Amino acid sequence: MGHFQRRPTGAPCPQPSTLEGTYMVDAVHTSSAPMIELRRLHRFFGATKAVHDVSFEVYRGQVFGYIGPNGAGKTTSMRILSTLELPSYGDAFIDGFSAVNDPDLVRRRLGFMPDGFSVYPNMNCIEYLDFFARSYGMMGKDRIQAIKRTLGFTGLDKIAAKPITGLSKGMRQRLCLGRAMIHQPTVLVLDEPANGLDPRARIELRQMIQQLAAEGTTVLVSSHILTELAEMCDQVGIIERGKLLAVGSVEEIRRTMRGHLRVRVIPLNQQAEIAVWLSQREGVSELAQEGNAIHFSLQGGEAEQSQLLTSMIQSGFPILEFAAHTESLEDVFMKITTGAVQ
C-alpha cells in the first residue's frame, strides 16, 4: 500500500497500518443522535481516493443535499452508508448503528435508491414491489397494505400491472423510489434521483421528497447540480474529489461567500490600462477580459462598489457600464469546487 504514503496537506490522513480497520469503533449512542452520520469516512480504490475523510451529520426529518461533480465520491459514500460497500477507514451510522458492524440493523431503517435501475425480466410493477415486500419479511395483510400505500404514494397504481421493461424513465424512478420505501424506512438515501428526468417529473419528485421529509423521514439526496436541490434541502454538503468542501444550509454557504460581488465593467476604450489599474487595487480578484467587458470579483459590499467606481472615474477612465451583483448559487458552487477531476 505504498501509494498511500503520499500524504495530502490538510486533514491528517490515517497511516496505512491503521487502514486495515483497527479503527471502526463500535459507536452506538442512545439519545439525541443524528439519524445519519458519516464519521471520517475514507474509501480508496487503488490510488484513487474516492472518498477522503468525509464527516457530516443529518438529523431527523432533514433533507441533506449531497452535491458534487461527477466522480466526486457521492455514490461511493452513499453505498458505504447503505452497507453495499466497506470503507477503507472510518464508519457511517444510521440511527447510531454502524453500517460496517451492524448492517442488518442499518438495512431495516434504510431505503436506498441507486443511480442505476436494475430490472428483472417478465415482471410487472406490482410483482416487483410484492417481491421486495416479501424480501423485507412482510406477510399477508401487512404486505398488501404496504404495497397499496407505496403504489398510492408514488402514483403507480394506474400502471400497476404494466411490465417493468416498458416503463418510462420517470415511472422507473418512481418504482425505484417505491421499492426503497416499501418497508417505511426512517432514512432514505437517493442517488441522483433527478438525473434524466423531465422538468415536470423533477418537480413531482421534489414534492414527494418534501412530503416524506414532512412525515419524519430523513433524506440524503445527491445531485451534481446545486440549484436543483437548493430549494428543498435543509442542509447541503459540497464534495469534490472525495473531499467535503463545505457543509451547511444553503444560506450559510452563501454567507461564507458574501462579501464578494461579481462586477462587470464596459469601458469605451483603454481596456488594457483599466485592467492593469484594477489588478493593482486591493480587493479585486479573478480578473478576466471578455470582448469589451472586464469581469472581476470585488471584496466588500455596496460602499466598496461605489468607492471603486468613483476612483475609476476620477482616474479619467471612460466607463460606459458598471454592473455588480451578488454571486448566484452557481457562482458559489463554481467557486467552492475547482473543477478538477481525478
Interface contacts to ligand ADP, rule CB under 6 A? 45, 48, 50, 68, 70-76, 342
- Residue from 75, 88, 154, 173 touching Mg ion (CB under 5 A): that is 75
Dihedral of CA 95/98/101/106: which sign?
positive
Minimum gap (Å) between residue 38 Cβ and other proteins: 17
Segment 1 to 30, residues that bind other proteins, using CB under 8 A: 1, 20-21, 24-26, 28, 30
258: Cβ contacts below 8 Å, ≥ 6 apart:
326
157 touching other proteins, by CB under 8 A:
yes
Cell reading at 113: 435508491
Phi, psi (rounded to 5 degrees) for 134: -65, -40
CB 43 within 8 A of CB 51: yes
DSSP state of 3: G
Counting every residue, how long is the chain?
A: 342
Minimum gap (Å) between residue 281 Cβ and ligand ADP: 39
Strands 63-67 and 218-223 come out as parallel
213 touching other proteins, by CB under 8 A:
no
103 touching other proteins, by CB under 8 A:
yes
Which entry of ligand ADP, Mg ion, other proteins, none binds 109, CB below 5 to 8 A by partner kind? other proteins
61 touching other proteins, by CB under 8 A:
no
280 touching other proteins, by CB under 8 A:
no
Largest CA distance in the chain: 84
Minimum gap (Å) between residue 307 Cβ and other proteins: 51
CB-based closest residue to Mg ion: 75
- Residue from 4, 40, 48, 85 touching other proteins (CB under 8 A): that is 85
**What is the layout of strands, in order, in the sheet containing 97-98?**
48-58, 36-45, 89-94, 97-98
Span of 50-58, 75-83, 149-157, 317-325 interacting with Mg ion by CB under 5 A: 75-83
